[in-house]
Amino acid sequence: MMFMPASNVANVLEAVTDAELAYLSPQCRMHATASPVLLRKAQEALKHGELRQACVYAWGAVEEITKAVAENWKDYDVICERYQDMSALVNALSVTDPEIIKAIERWRSDYDELGAQGSRQALNDRLEALGWDWEEFLTNGFSAATNLLECFSENRVREVTVEASLNRIERYIAQMQHWLLQPSPPDGFRQFHNQ
């Protein structure tokens, strides 16, 4: 799977053509096209110092693209009705590479032997050896949006946090657009989504 770096995603919707959108259901298209619109609104709100509004728009952008992917795969029992469903979908998509799955399984077994800090370092070393880039990890964007929503709720929003989160969310949307155009979930997806 190819990920588009954030610098190449000035308008993330440009990555999905009208012809590609035509194959999606009307509901799926609605979610897919709303996401970049909300992202642009979040970026504009940030420019105008409306930090709380930027948080709301950013969460909406993530929610819409995630729902678009789930809608596209509804025939495969992929659901996205609650926050937990969205989180499960994102986690499942993040862990479909068999080598990554092995590294994570090894991390779980290392935990008893090495403890929290040692097992995390061992996992990081294994993932780094596989060429894994945490910045491109799908859950980074989802977590950034979740954090912004929490900041909004607790009224503790800082400009630097919103700006960094929007960059991660932009990458997330581009990554999810890749999945949006896939006719079905990747191999191994169900076993993690249904846990």
Domains defined for the chain, CATH in brackets: 12-96+137-193 (1.20.120)
The predicted pLDDT at position 38 comes to 96
**Residues 79-101: pLDDT tens digits?**
888 888 888 888 888 766 666 66
pTM of the model: 0.75
Q: Above pLDDT 90, what percent of the chain?
A: 31
Residue 195 pLDDT greater than 70, yes or no = no
Predicted confidence band at 8 (pLDDT cuts at 50, 70, 90)? very low
CB 165 within 8 A of CB 58: yes
Average pLDDT over residues 13-36: 84
- As a whole number of angstroms, the distance between CA 131 and CA 117 comes to 21
Q: Which residues contact 178 (CB under 8 A, 6 or more apart)?
A: 1, 2, 3
Lowest mean pLDDT among 118-132, 156-170, 177-191: 118-132
Residue among 148, 140, 176, 183 nearest 57 (CA): 148
Distance (Å) of CA 128 to CA 1, 68, 110, 119, 164: 18, 31, 17, 14, 23
Mean pLDDT value across the chain = 79
Average pLDDT over residues 49-58: 95
**Residues 144-170: pLDDT tens digits?**
898 898 888 888 889 999 999 999 999
Predicted confidence band at 2 (pLDDT cuts at 50, 70, 90)? very low
Average pLDDT over residues 34-45: 95
Residue 4 pLDDT greater than 50, yes or no = no
